[in-house]
Structure formats: C-alpha cells, structure tokens
Amino acid sequence: MAQDKLKIGVYELTGCAGDALLIVDCEEELVPIFTAADIEVFLMAKSDNRHGDLDLALVEGSVSTEKEKEELLDIRRRSKIVVAFGNCACVGGIQAAFLDKKNWEKNLKKVYGNHDFSHSQPVQSKPIDAFVKVDYYLPGCPVGKEQFLSTFNRLLRGNPPELYRFPVCIECKWQENDCLLNKDILCLGPLTLGGCGSVCPDHNIPCFGCWGPTEEANLTSEYRLLLNKGFDVAAIKNRMANYSGTRIAEFFETFRKEKR
C-alpha cells in the first residue's frame, strides 16, 4: 500500500522571502518536491492553501508583530516538526541585530511617529525559538539549495537533517585562500557557519556572517583579535551583529555588563 505523503507548510514571517524563493528557484527539482509531499501551504507558490494539521512546517523570517506571534503559535500547535528556515528564523537576522528595547522603541517612533498600527502591533523582532520549540535549524541567508534539498529528502524519510557544523574558515582553507585576517581585513569566517562554500573569501571579499554564528563560535577570542588588529569597537560590533541577530547582541550585552 502506498504510504501517505507528508503534509508540509511553508510559512513566511518577517524577512525578505529569499528562503521561500530558494524553493521556487529549484527549477528542476520543483515538480519532484511537489510530487513527493503534499504541500498544503505555500503562499508564494500556490493559491489553494489549507491551514490544517501538518507533519512539517518550514518557517522563514523572524517574529516582528503580535499577529506573527499568534500565527507562529498556531503553526506550532498544528505541526509535528517545525524547522527554522533561514537566518531570520534561526537567529533573528538583520531586523533583530540589537537587543536594547529602549533604542528599539526610539527607532520605531523615529520611523513611524505616533502611527496607529491597526493591522498588527509591532514587537521587537526575535527569532522563532523565542516563542516556540524549534526542532531543526536550517541556516543561511538565504538557505543553500544543496542543504535544503538534502534536509527535505531526509525529513521526508523520517531522518533528521545533517548540517554543516564547522565555520566558513574550513571551506576557505579547502580552497587554499590566503587568510584575509592576515591582511588586516575584518573577516567573520571563524564565527560563521559553513555551507556557503566560502564564496566571499574565494573572491577576496571578507565574510559578513550571513549564515549566522556557529554553535561553538568563540566570540570573545575573535573580538579581542579584531581589537588587537586595530578595529574599533563600533566597527566590530556592527559587523558581528549584522546578520547574527540576538545571539551576537546577547554577547555584546553580557560583555558590556562584565566590563562595568
């Protein structure tokens, strides 16, 4: 007897929709993807969306409104497995780069004045695991095609994803690149999850950290190394916080408190 297909939903919260687009961009694999599973929800790709129980939800984007918070809680309630899909969902992305609530409120006012938000109240942007349990994290800005297809395949067969755990520096070394840090260029390769194929350092461009931080990133060590190389605190902080959201912002908060 044929096995039931998995019911899958692709959701987009606050982000650029680059991860959902990555799926649509899998041109040759798109028909097999839609044939192998029942894609119940995918606003970017289909109009007949059914918001019922799911085996798997891929959630892109961070939570930046009350409405998104409710939507995410509802997705979690209906889904057996929730995957944080892309950097914004995993760590918050650019919109969650700084934690300071006072500054967030100040900035909101600066941009929107006393605007009355009738659709949904904005909240300080956070990664999805600030609100719900996340089963797996698929990093990237956007997620890499190879890593998405491998994860999708494994989850369809009931297996957990196998993801890169090492930093960009490993891939960079495989290419035998000269290290940009040795040329006093601010490169975030040591802190950033591999999987992109070190595409930037391969072209002499420093890594900006767009795949988010590795679990074992030694932030203190990189921070001190960059300070010793003469970079100022603001430049380091801005670069490190750029794509890595709350994770890096929390580091700087702790660091600041320790220095008091």
Spatial strand order in the sheet of 7-12: 38-42, 7-12, 54-60, 79-85, 136-138
Residue number with CB closer to ligand SF4 (108 or 179): 179
Bridge-based pairing state of the strands 63-65 and 54-60: unpaired
The conformation of residue 37, written as its DSSP 8-state character, comes to: S
Smallest distance from ligand SF4 to CB 227, Å: 16
Residue 16 touching ligand SF4 (CB under 6 A): no
Residue 201 touching ligand SF4 (CB under 6 A): yes
Smallest distance from ligand SF4 to CB 7, Å: 32
Q: Rule CB under 6 A: which of 206-225 touch ligand SF4? A: 207-211
Smallest distance from ligand SF4 to CB 157, Å: 28
Residue number with CB closer to ligand SF4 (11 or 137): 137
Separation of alpha carbons 6 and 100, rounded Å: 41
Residue 196 touching ligand SF4 (CB under 6 A): yes
Nearest residue by C-beta to ligand SF4?
189
In whole angstroms, how large is the CA radius of gyration of the chain? 20
Residue number with CB closer to ligand SF4 (70 or 146): 146
Residue number with CB closer to ligand SF4 (148 or 208): 208
Residue number with CB closer to ligand SF4 (22 or 168): 168
191-206 burial, b if ≥16 CB within 10 A, otherwise e?
A: bbbbbbebebbeeeeb
Secondary structure class of 28 (helix, strand, coil): helix
Q: What angle do CA 73, 74, 76 make, to 5 degrees?
A: 65
Q: Rule CB under 6 A: which of 135-194 touch ligand SF4? A: 168-169, 172-173, 177, 179-181, 187, 189-190, 192
